[in-house]
Structure 1
Amino acid sequence: MTRPADSGPVRLTLIESEDEQSIRTVVRKLLTDRCAPGDVAATYDGDDALREPLWRSLAVDLGLAGLLVPEEAGGAGAGAREAGTVLEELGSAVAPVPFLTSAVIATSTLVHLMSVPSADRGAVRDTLAAAASGERVLTLAVPWSTAPDGPSCTVREKPDGLHGEVALVAGAEAGTFLVPALGADGPGLWLVDRTQVHITPVTGLDMTRPPATVRFDGAVARPVVRGQATEDAVRAGLFTGAGLLASEQVGLAQRCLAETVSYLAVRRQFGRVVGGFQAIKHRLADLHIAVEGAHAAARYAAATLADDPADAPVAVAVAASVCGEVAVRAAEECVQLLGGIGMTWEHPAHLRLKRAVADHVALGTPVRHRARLGVLVGIEPDKECL
Structure 2
Amino acid sequence: MFDELEALREAVRGLLDGQTAAPGMWGRLCKEIGVAGLTVPEELGGSGAGLTEAAVVLEELGRVLSPAPMLGTVLAVHTLLGLDDDEARERLLPAICTGERTVTVAFLRDGPALFRDVTAADTVLAVTDDGVHEVNTGIDVGGSLDLTRQVGTLRLDRAAGRRLTGTAPDLLPLACATLAAEQLGTAGRALELTVGYVQQRHQFGRPIGSFQVLQHRLAEAYIRVQAARSACEAAVQAVADGTADAPLLAAVAKVTCSETVRAVAAEMMQMHGGIAITWEHDAHRYLRRAWATAQMFGSPESHVARLTPTVVPSPY
Fold shared by both chains (TM-score > 0.5): yes
Amino acid at match of 1:129: P
Q: Structure 1 pair 199/288, CA: closer, same or farther in 2 (3 Å)?
A: same
More helix as a share of residues: 2
Deviations 1:277-299 (A, max 9, x none): 11111111111111111111111
The equivalent residue for 1:247 is 181
Contact 1:318–1:373 (8 Å) recurs in 2: no
Aligned partner of 1:53 among 5, 21, 24: 24
Tell me, in whole angstroms, the C-alpha distance in 2 between the residues paired with 1:169 and 1:244.
15
Tell me, in whole angstroms, the C-alpha distance in 2 between the residues paired with 1:359 and 1:365.
9
Q: Does 1:96 align with 2:71?
A: no
Q: Does 1:22 align with 2:7?
A: yes
Kindly report which structure 2 residues correspond to 1:224-239, keeping only aligned pairs within 5 A, or say none.
Answer: 224-225=164-165, 229-230=167-168, 233=169, 235-236=170-171, 238-239=172-173
Tell me, in whole angstroms, the C-alpha distance in 1 between the residues paired with 2:156 and 2:95.
23
Aligned partner of 2:155 among 208, 211, 215: 215
Q: Does 1:68 align with 2:55?
A: no
Alpha-carbon distance, 1:120 to partner: 2.2
Q: Give the secondary-structure state (helix, strand or coil) at the position aligned to 1:219.
A: coil
Tell me, in whole angstroms, the C-alpha distance in 2 between the residues paired with 1:354 and 1:203.
13
Aligned partner of 1:171 among 100, 113, 117: 117
Name stretches of at least 5 consecutive residues in structure 2 with no aligned partner.
none
Contact 1:190–1:225 (8 Å) recurs in 2: no
Q: Does 1:128 align with 2:93?
A: yes
Alpha-carbon distance, 1:167 to partner: 4.0
Tell me, in whole angstroms, the C-alpha distance in 2 between the residues paired with 1:17 and 1:376.
35
| TM-score, structure 2 as length reference | 0.93
Tell me, in whole angstroms, the C-alpha distance in 2 between the residues paired with 1:362 and 1:216.
21
Amino acid at match of 1:175: D
Q: Structure 1 pair 126/332, CA: closer, same or farther in 2 (3 Å)?
A: same
Q: Structure 1 pair 224/378, CA: closer, same or farther in 2 (3 Å)?
A: farther
Contact 2:106–2:115 (8 Å) recurs in 1: yes
Contact 2:62–2:182 (8 Å) recurs in 1: yes
The aligned length equals 312
Q: Give the secondary-structure state (helix, strand or coil) at the position aligned to 1:27.
A: helix
Kindly report which structure 2 residues correspond to 1:295-374, keeping only aligned pairs within 5 A, or say none.
Answer: 295-307=229-241, 309-374=243-308
Name stretches of at least 5 consecutive residues in structure 1 with no aligned partner.
1-15, 41-49, 114-118, 143-151, 155-164, 380-386
Q: Which has the higher contact order (CA 8 A, sep 6+)?
A: 1
Alpha-carbon distance, 1:214 to partner: 1.6
Q: Structure 1 pair 373/71, CA: closer, same or farther in 2 (3 Å)?
A: farther
Aligned partner of 1:180 among 121, 124, 127: 127
Alpha-carbon distance, 1:308 to partner: 5.1
The equivalent residue for 2:80 is 110
The equivalent residue for 2:219 is 285
Moved over 6 A (4+): none
Tell me, in whole angstroms, the C-alpha distance in 2 between the residues paired with 1:375 and 1:101.
31
Q: Give the secondary-structure state (helix, strand or coil) at the position aligned to 2:165.
A: strand
Aligned-CA RMSD value = 1.8
Q: Structure 1 pair 352/219, CA: closer, same or farther in 2 (3 Å)?
A: same
Tell me, in whole angstroms, the C-alpha distance in 2 between the residues paired with 1:217 and 1:372.
32
Alpha-carbon distance, 1:327 to partner: 0.2
Q: Give the secondary-structure state (helix, strand or coil) at the position aligned to 1:285.
A: helix
The equivalent residue for 2:49 is 78
Contact 2:194–2:272 (8 Å) recurs in 1: yes
Contact 1:139–1:170 (8 Å) recurs in 2: no
Contact 1:95–1:208 (8 Å) recurs in 2: yes
Identity rate of aligned residues, in percent?
40
Q: Give the secondary-structure state (helix, strand or coil) at the position aligned to 2:149.
A: coil
Q: Structure 1 pair 181/294, CA: closer, same or farther in 2 (3 Å)?
A: closer
Q: Give the secondary-structure state (helix, strand or coil) at the position aligned to 1:19.
A: helix
Tell me, in whole angstroms, the C-alpha distance in 1 between the residues paired with 2:308 and 2:93.
35
Contact 2:39–2:46 (8 Å) recurs in 1: yes
Tell me, in whole angstroms, the C-alpha distance in 2 between the residues paired with 1:365 and 1:137.
27
| TM-score, structure 1 as length reference | 0.77
Alpha-carbon distance, 1:121 to partner: 1.9
Amino acid at match of 2:261: A
Q: Give the secondary-structure state (helix, strand or coil) at the position aligned to 1:179.
A: strand
